[in-house]
Structure 1
């Protein structure tokens, strides 16, 4: 099956939502989970537009909350397909909060969602190639490729490290850490 390539702009998606009091924690700031849910929603919309099919989230990378989001602010999630593999897509998301009274906009976080396209049989299905139309599209694609490679290297190193952990020697390894072994 040959799929027609699609440009990045074809599936770019923005979702904007008013932050209401029920989204806030006891400190009056918006719960991170609310923001993650909105990011997941925009990642789905963006990846599904590109793939033309249902997509599921398989991983979320680099979720750093740079600034708090306040009740009453308008939060916009800007999503763009940065990379496509055979069945997967990496969607970059930039989150901005706007104070409607002052008009100021602050960048609250950026994140990367890896999505997989699903076919009618609920199995991974091929996605269209991505048309890169400017230097920014190319930069983001290469950056996503490198992030994917680094993630695979870290996973391999962690798998190796797990096999080398000697719990019986934990008292030596953990002697300067803030923990107490109590068993």
Structure 2
């Protein structure tokens, strides 16, 4: 395994035609189809960088900005934005092209955290990431901050789970759109 690789070495684009069987009941491409395709491109990108089999650990910030239509060509552009010891954060930009009109629309963005696995099925070390321009540095720092924020959120939620009591919950939820209907014995 190489000690380091540039971002460009693993950048991956997958383009697929959106067919009628991908459509949901509303006539638009189902979000699950797009997520599956994003997972595929995240795997391809991460495994190219790691030189190993990779698995998806988390999917963050999935934003469906615009609907995707049957007949459009959808391109998923993936790039390794951050590497840890065995983990990588892969940024994905999804674009839909209307070939008749010649228009390209940014429809989705997402971040997939992938972990490289060795032959023993345990996490394995990945190459360092060579950052060759300011955009790559910005994305690495952004991913690092996103990782730190996720850790703080996870810790705060763990604290909240262990501390919530029914009287406090009643007060907290009194202006929310829910009804507490617990019958205590």
Q: Which aligned pairs between 1:1-183 and structure 2 lie closer than 5 A?
A: 3-183=2-182
Separation in 2, partners of 1:123, 1:175: 47
**Offset from partner CA, 1:104-142 (integer Å, 9 cap, x none):** 000001100000000000000000011111111111111
Structure 1 residue ranges without an equivalent (≥5) = none
| Unpaired segments ≥5 residues, structure 2 | none
Q: What secondary structure sits across from 2:90 in the alignment?
A: strand
The TM-score with structure 1 as length reference comes to 0.96
C-alpha RMSD over aligned residues:
1.1
Task: Determine the C-alpha separation between the residues in 2 that align with 1:129 and 1:173.
Answer: 46
DSSP 3-state at the match of 2:179:
coil
TM-score by length of 2: 0.95
Give 3-state SS (helix, strand or coil) of 1:92's partner.
strand
* Structure with more strand by fraction: 2
The alpha-carbon deviation at position 169 of structure 1 amounts to 4.1
Q: Distance in 2 between matches of 1:25 and 1:82?
A: 32
Q: Could you tell me how far 1:173 is from its partner in structure 2? A: 2.2
Mapped partners of 1:170, 1:160: distance in 2:
14
Number of equivalenced pairs: 182
Residues 135-173 of structure 1, C-alpha deviation per residue, up to 9 Å, x if partnerless?
111111111111111111111111111111113543332
